[in-house]
Amino acid sequence: MGDPAGVGPEIICRALAELPPVQRARIIVYGDIKFLRRANTLTKSGLSFSDSGSFSNGRGVSLVHIPVEQAELVRDGMMNAAAGTCSYAYIKCAVAAALAGKISIIVTAPINKEALHAAGHPFEGHTELLAHLTGAKSSFMLLASDKLSTIHVSTHVSLAGAVQRVTTERELAAIRIGNTHLKRLGIAQPRIAVAGLNPHSGENGLFGREEIDYIKPAIRAAQSEGINVQGPISGDTVFYRAMRGEFDLVVAQYHDQGHIPTKLIAFDTTINVSLGLPILRVSVDHGTAFDIAWKGVARHDNMLATIAYASRLCMS
């Protein structure tokens, strides 16, 4: 359900209300029934949430109700530790269910990193928290859309920290896992481009040696494994070429390098996919939107697209 102070409950209700009954019946919501019932009324979605599996009409939604004592301290549209505590509890419960094989994939509504930290869970974001809960050594964020998809070598770190994470091992891992993911989706030979870190991909060392020392060796290693990958290609051209259909995936070197072009061209439909975990997880690619939360105006396009992508992954 994500952060209960944010738009998560609203977009969940709106999205589930639009789904066909047969698809809605395959979904279980992990969260708090009080927030969901409030959001259901606010959005006029006409749903019935139950943790007993018993419904009186065809608008029922299965729920795992997760009571959190601090939930009473949550305030609509405001960041606080209580909301972070709730977010963590919902995620932890869903991850346990996924690891136990009770559910096939997790779809996450947005959380607030500051609230999570205030609650005593100092993770960089959802992806890092999921890696911790599942015991994964590393994880990668992939942004997927119809027009452009990117996988990130680093995400929620400072720009200085992102440069330090550009290693041959990390580059090669990103290329491999992106290639595997696209093959799972039915692309027999994915076409992958690796973006340069520095302007003009370093201009043969004039603007930095990361491309020479770390990125190119990773690309050569991936090519020796039969992966169709090119680069490094300057960041000011590689995304345009991918959008024109030349590549299926771009390896972005840091958060904003991949997020800015993807959100520019597909803001409402981009899907956040976590790779490298022992479970499947996808998420909406927007935040808690505290400024409009609990006002009944939050759009649910991204949640619908995320649920559709999750269903596609489950069937692949």
In tens, the pLDDT along 91-126 reads 999 999 999 999 999 999 999 999 999 999 998 778
| Angle between helix 33-43 and helix 8-18 axes, rounded to 10 deg | 60
Of 249, 262, 106, 107, which is closest to residue 187 (Cα–Cα)?
A: 249
* CATH superfamily, region 1-137+276-316: Isopropylmalate Dehydrogenase (3.40.718.10)
Average pLDDT, the chain: 93
What pLDDT is attached to residue 54?
55
For 140-270, CATH number out of 3.50.50.60, 3.30.70.20, 3.40.718.10, 2.60.120.590 equals 3.40.718.10
What pLDDT is attached to residue 140?
93
Q: Is beta strand 271-275 parallel, antiparallel or unpaired with respect to 28-31?
A: unpaired
What pLDDT is attached to residue 315?
81
CB 289 within 8 A of CB 79: no
> What φ, ψ does residue 203 adopt, rounded to 5°?
50, 55
CB 227 within 8 A of CB 175: yes
Token digits of residue 204: 């043969």
User: For 189-208, what is the mean pLDDT?
Assistant: 94
pLDDT at 50 over 90: no
Contacts of 145 (CB under 8 A, 6+ apart): 262, 265, 266, 269, 270, 271
In tens, the pLDDT along 85-97 reads 999 999 999 999 9
What pLDDT is attached to residue 109?
96
pLDDT at 316 over 90: no
Q: Is 48 exposed, middle or buried (0-12, 13-18, 19+ CB in 10 A)?
A: middle
Query: Predicted confidence band at 259 (pLDDT cuts at 50, 70, 90)?
Result: very high
pLDDT at 55 over 60: no
Q: Where are the alpha helices (DSSP H) in the chain?
A: 8-18, 21-24, 33-43, 81-99, 113-118, 126-134, 159-164, 168-184, 210, 216-224, 235-243, 255-266, 301-315
Q: Indicate the pTM of the whole model.
A: 0.87
What is the DSSP code (8-state) at residue 285?
A: S
- The whole-angstrom separation of Cα 16 and Cα 298 is 14
- Give the max Cα distance, the chain: 69
- Dihedral (Cα; 295, 296, 302, 306), 10-degree rounding: 110
CB 98 within 8 A of CB 106: yes
Q: Delimit the CATH 3.40.718.10 region(s) of the chain.
A: 1-137+276-316, 140-270
Establish whether the linkage from the previous residue to 232 is cis, with ω within 30° of 0: yes
Token digits of residue 124: 């960089």
